[in-house]
Amino acid sequence: MNIVEVQQVTKRYGDFTALDAVSLTVPQGCVFGLLGPNGAGKTTLIRILMRISCQDEGQVLFNGHPLSGEDVYDMGYLPEERGLYKKMKTGEQAIYLARLKGLSRDEAYTRLCEKFEQFGMMEWWNRPVEELSKGMQQKVQFITTILHKPSFLILDEPFSGFDPINANLLKEEVLKLKQEGTTIVLSTHNMASVEEICDHIALINRSRKILEGDIFEVKNRFKKNLFSVETSCCPDELVRLLQQQYQICSQKSGDYYTRFEVQIPETKTSNDLLGLFMQYGDIHSFNEILPTMNDIFIEQVEYANQQSSHEE
Amino acid sequence: MKNKTFLIISREYLTRIKKKSFIIITVLVPILLVAMIVLPVLLVSLSEQQQFSRILVVDESEIFINNFKDNANYSFSYRSGNIEQIKNEAFDQNYDVVLQILSNSQAMKSNIYYKKNLPSGLQSEVENQMDDIFFNQLLKDSLKIDPVKFEDMQRLAKSESVTIQIDENGVEKERDSTINQLFGMFCGLFLYFIIVIFASQVLRGVLEEKTNRIVEVLISSVRPMQLLVGKIVGIALVGLTQMAIWAVLSMTILVGLQFAAPNLFTPGTVEEMPAYSSTGGMLSESADLSVSPDNIFEMIQNYFPVSFGVIIFCFVFFFVVGYLIYSTLYAATGSVVDNESDSQQYTMPITIPLLLAIVFVPTISTNPDGALAFWLSMIPLTSPIAMMVRLPSGVHAWELALSMGLAVAFLVFCIWFAAKVYRVGIMTYGKKPSWRTIFRWLRET
C-alpha cells in the first residue's frame, strides 16, 4: 500500500522548471529519504505534497485518491526554515498551532503537557518564544508538527541545529512514530542519518528524479562486488594469486592479521574468494562492502550532471 | 474551515488587545480628548472666579475720581495726596493694588503698583474702564453729548445676523458653518490616522509572519486566504473595539464631570468660549439650557445638516471600507517584500493619494461642494477621508451613495488583487519582484 503517489508532476516558475515530470511512490509506514543537492527541487515537491503550492501538470494521490484540502489535517510538516511568533508565549502558541491542525483546545492542552514533560520544557510554557534557545525552539516546532498525530509526516532537515543529544532524541522520536505506523518523508543532506533511519530513498537532481527504491535494494544495485577479508597469515603466494585472479583494492597488515579489500570480477563468486583464503589460513572475518549513501549520492549526481552536459 | 478563520481572527485580536501599548493608548486618548474639550472651559471659568481685588486709586488728573465701577471682582477706593506715603500705607490696609493716574492728560498714563502678584485681567479691566470714562468725558466736554443717550444710540445701531440653511425639504435651520467645517476636518483627520495606524499593523503582521518563516507552517494548515482574512478582520476588530472604548470612556468622563462640577457647562461659561460666542443667538433662545450630555447631542443635532446618527454610521462605514482597502493593499505589499524598509517602494502609489487627501482637507472643508471636494470624495483611495470632511456640512444623498458604491467596488478589486499577490508573495524570498512579475502572478490562477 502506498500512502503517496506522485505521478508525472511538473512545476514551473516563469521560465524555470523546478520539477520536471517527477514520479515517485512512498510506501505506507516507511521512513522515506528525499535526497538531492541544494536547489534540486525537494522543497518544491514538499510544498506540492503539503498543498502549499500547486503543480502545473501531473497529479498527487494520497491514500489512493487525489490529494485534497482535507488531507492536510492528516499531515504534519516541519519546514527547513523554521519560525514561531517571537512575542507569543510558548505554550499558548503551541496550542494555537495544534488547533489550526484541527485539535480541540483541551485535547491540544493534554497532549502538549505530555510532550513538554517528555522534552523537559514545562518551565518554558509561559515564556515568550524569543527567550528560548534555538534548539529549544526547534523542539517546540517538532512537537507542534506531530501533536495532531498525522499519519503522514514531512520533516525538512530536521536535524540541523540540534546538538548530538537532542538529535538522538529526535531520531528516537522519529523511529517511535514509524513504529506507531506514521509514514515519514525525511529531506536531509545528512547521509549518516539516512543510512540509519530511512527505508526508502528517492534522489532528485536538477528537477528530475534520478534514483528511487528500497535503500537495501539501491545499495545492492550500486555495489561493486567489494569484499573485506581479515585473515591470520598472508603468504606471498596468496597475494600473487589474488593479484592474478581478483583485484586488491587495499591491504593492511598488523602483527597478527592482514586485512584485504578485494573486488571480485564477474567471472568469480564470493565463494571462490572465500575458498582461496581458506587454503592459506584462518579467516577472522569476511563480509561484503556495500556502497554508503554518501558514495551513491555523489556518484549518481555527478553521473547525471555529466549526462545532461553531454545532452547539451 | 470557517472555524480556522475564526481561530486566526481570535489570535490576531487577543494578542493585540493584551498588549500594554494597546491598553495605554485606549485609556489615554479619551482622557486627552476630554481634556481638550474641558480645559478651555475650565480655564475660562477659573479666570472668572479669580480673587477679589481692592484697588486704591490716586488720581492726579481728577477725571476718574468716583467714576470707576465696582463689580464682582474689583472694588475701587479713592485717595489723594503724596503717592509715596499712600503706597507705604495702602498695602498694610489690605489694598491689593495702588493705581496712580498721572496728571498729564494728553496721554492717559498710569502706574499700577502691586506686591506679590498682579491678578490676571486687572490691567485690562483698569484700562478698559479708564478708556470708557475718558471717552464719556470727551463726549460730555468736547461734543456736548450726554453719554447715557450715546450709549442708547449705540445699542440701537447694533446689528445681529443669524445664518439659516434651507434644506432639500424646505425646512429652515439655523446653522453655523464654521462648526461644521471644524467638525468635518476633525472627522477626516481622525479617520486618516486610524486607517493608517491599523492598515500598517496589517502590513507589519504579514511581514512578521513572512520574515520569521512561520507562514510556511501556517499555510500547511490553512489556506492563505483564511490567514489573510483572519489577520485583516482581527485587526479591524481591534480598531473597532478601541473606538468603542474611546466613545464609552469619553462619555463616562464627560458625565462624571457633569456630576462632579455641574456648573462647568452652564450656558454662561459656554458663552464665554470663543468657539461658542458666535452661537450666542441660539443659546439665548434656550437660556434655561443646563447642558447635560443629552442636551449637547440636541445642540449638535440642531446644528448639523446631517443627523448625528448618519455621521456615526458613515464614519464607521468609511473606516471599515477605507481600512479594508488600505489593509488589503498593504498586506499584498507586506507579502512581496522581506523587510519593512523595502515596503515603502511598493506602498508609495497607494499612500500618495492618502497624503493628497490630507493636504486638501482644509480646502475641502472651506469649500465642501467644490469640484475638488467632489472628485476627491469619489476616488476610492481618497474618498473615505474627503467624504468625512464634507459630510457635516451636508452632502446630497446620491453623492454619498455613489461614493460608498465606488469605494465598495474598488474594495472588491483590492481583495482580488491582494489575494493573488499574497498567495505567491508570502512564499517568495530573496529578490524583490518587479511590477512585471507581480502582473504575471495576477494572470496566473
Domain ranges within chain A, ordered by starting residue: 2-220, 224-289
CB contact under 8 A, A52 and B221: no
Q: Compute the count of residue pairs across chains A and B with CB atoms less than 8 Å apart.
A: 61
Is residue B441 predicted with pLDDT exceeding 50?
yes
Mutation pick from A13, A46, A50, A52 vs chain B, by most beta carbons of B within 10 Å, is: A52
CB-count burial class (<10 Å; 0-12, 13-18, 19+) for A91: buried
Grid cell 496712580 in the structure block, residue: B100
Task: State the pLDDT at residue A153.
Answer: 93
Distance CA A215, CA A199 (A): 6
CB contact under 8 A, A83 and B221: no
Coil, helix or strand at residue A184: strand
The pLDDT mean for chain B works out to 80
Distance CA B77, CA B54 (A): 8
- Is residue B88 within 8 A of residue B44, CB to CB? The reply is no
**Nine-digit cell at B211?**
520574515
Is residue B3 predicted with pLDDT exceeding 60?
yes
Half-sphere exposure for A216 (CA within 13 Å, toward CB): 1
**Cα→Cα distances B356→A136, B193, B349, Å:** 49, 14, 11
Across the strands, what pairs with A66? A61
Closest CA in chain B for residue A148: B221
CB contact under 8 A, A144 and B212: no
Q: Name the nearest CA neighbour of B22 among B174, B178, B278, B201.
A: B201
Task: State the pLDDT at residue A179.
Answer: 93
Is residue B275 predicted with pLDDT exceeding 50?
no
Task: State the pLDDT at residue B14.
Answer: 92
Is residue A115 predicted with pLDDT exceeding 60?
yes
**Nine-digit cell at A68?**
485534497
Task: Name the CA dihedral angle for A219, A21, A53, B3, rounded to a multiple of 10 degrees.
Answer: -80
Residue range A171-194, pLDDT digits in tens: 999 999 999 999 999 998 888 888
Comparison of pLDDT for B234 and A159, the residue scoring more:
B234
Task: State the pLDDT at residue A90.
Answer: 92
Is residue A47 predicted with pLDDT exceeding 60?
yes
Which residue ranges make up each domain of chain B? 52-149, 174-443
**Do the first three CATH levels of A2-220 and A224-289 match, i.e. the same topology?**
no
Grid cell 465606488 in the structure block, residue: B406
Mean pLDDT (whole number) for A196-215: 90
CB contact under 8 A, B223 and A69: yes
Q: Which listed CATH number (3.30.30.60, 1.20.1640.10, 2.40.50.100, 3.30.70.1140) goes with A224-289?
A: 3.30.70.1140
Is residue B444 predicted with pLDDT exceeding 90?
no
- Cβ neighbors of A208 (< 8 A, separation 6 or more) are A20, A21, A22, A304
Question: How many H helices and E strands in chain B?
Answer: 19, 6
Task: State the pLDDT at residue B105.
Answer: 58
Is residue A14 predicted with pLDDT exceeding 80?
no
Please, which pLDDT band fits residue B404 given cuts at 50, 70 and 90?
A: very high
Task: State the pLDDT at residue B167.
Answer: 65
Distance CA B94, CA B266 (A): 33
Is residue B48 predicted with pLDDT exceeding 70?
no
Task: Name the CA dihedral angle for B266, B270, B276, B277, rounded to a multiple of 10 degrees.
Answer: 110
Is residue B283 predicted with pLDDT exceeding 60?
no
CB contact under 8 A, B440 and A14: yes
Across the strands, what pairs with A151? none
Comparison of pLDDT for B357 and B267, the residue scoring more:
B357
Among chain B, residues having any CB pair with chain A shorter than 8 Å are 1, 4, 7-8, 11, 15, 208-209, 211-223, 427, 437, 440
Mean pLDDT (whole number) for B197-209: 90
Selection from A277-281, A295-299, B8-12 with the highest mean pLDDT = B8-12
CB-count burial class (<10 Å; 0-12, 13-18, 19+) for B236: buried
Sheet holding A16-27, edge to edge: A16-27, A2-13, A57-62, A65-66
Grid cell 515603502 in the structure block, residue: B344
**Cα→Cα distances B153→B28, B134, B140, B311, Å:** 53, 19, 15, 46
**CB interface of A with B, residues 122-161, below 8 Å:** 141, 144-145
Q: What homologous superfamily is domain B52-149 in, according to CATH?
A: Periplasmic binding protein-like II (3.40.190.10)
Structural domain A2-220, CATH architecture? 3-Layer(aba) Sandwich (3.40)
Contact A100/B at CB under 8 A: yes
Task: State the pLDDT at residue A32.
Answer: 94
